[in-house]
Amino acid sequence: MKKTYKIDVDCANCANKMEEAANKTPGVKEAVVNFMALKMKVEFEDGADIDGVMQKVVENCKIVEDDCQIYL
């Protein structure tokens, strides 16, 4: 399953850090951050708990970029 989330991030480098952190999160098959559109597209592994995975994505993104925001 794929879902798109609105994000708030200050720079393209920070968006890249968020993308890398999201892609390292268990349950995420692929995550792509578009800085210009301020969106994150996430494809989840089959059978993944989407809400639980996204909570971990938010936590992992906050570690690398503490002032970023993902609107769930």
Domain 2-71 has CATH 3.40.50.300: no
Give percent helix, percent strand, percent coil of the chain, each to the nearest 5: 40, 30, 30
pLDDT value, residue 38: 97
**Domain spans in the chain, listed from the N-terminal domain onward:** 2-71
Query: What's this model's pTM, rounded to 2 decimal places?
Result: 0.94
pLDDT tens digits, 5-14: 999 999 999 9
pLDDT tens digits, 45-59: 999 999 999 999 999
User: Tokens 């639980």 — which residue?
Assistant: 52
Cα gap 27→47, rounded to integer Å:
9
Cα gap 61→31, rounded to integer Å:
12
